[in-house]
Amino acid sequence: MEKIVEQGLLYDFYGELLTEHQKKIYEDVVYHDLSFSEIAQANGISRQGVHDMVRRCNHILEEYEDRLHLVARFMKIKENVGTLLELTDDPQLARDELAKEVRLISRQILEEL
């Protein structure tokens, strides 16, 4: 997964667990695509301070994911739903086979929840 997409997902799931200051800096980097220099100037901190804050936030968010696996579960469910959509769009698939596959994938989704 592309780094910026991964950062966005981690922030979407765990961002509320960061402090307000951390959230502001991290959002400026990830969502607003501002440079460290721009963020440093706007917040009255050093460029190195911004860099350290972003690294610390990445580490914190990755630790939450290592413990809770919410992003991994979300991605697995998303993949399974995509498979369901593909199956239902396949006109060659027999009804019995479709029902069997839908049940199997539905069970996998329920296990993730």
| Same domain for 84 and 30 | no
Question: The whole model's pTM is what?
Answer: 0.81
Phi, psi of 19 (to 5 degrees): -70, 165
How many CA atoms are closer than 13 Å to the CA of 44, on its beta-carbon side?
Answer: 1
Q: Residues 28-55: pLDDT tens digits?
A: 999 999 999 999 999 999 999 999 999 9
Give how many domains the chain has, as a whole number.
2
Which pair of tokens denotes residue 75?
């991605």
Range of the domain at 100: 72-112
Q: Residues 60-95: pLDDT tens digits?
A: 999 999 999 999 999 999 999 998 888 888 888 788
Q: Return the amino acid letter for 65.
A: E
| Same domain for 29 and 63 | yes
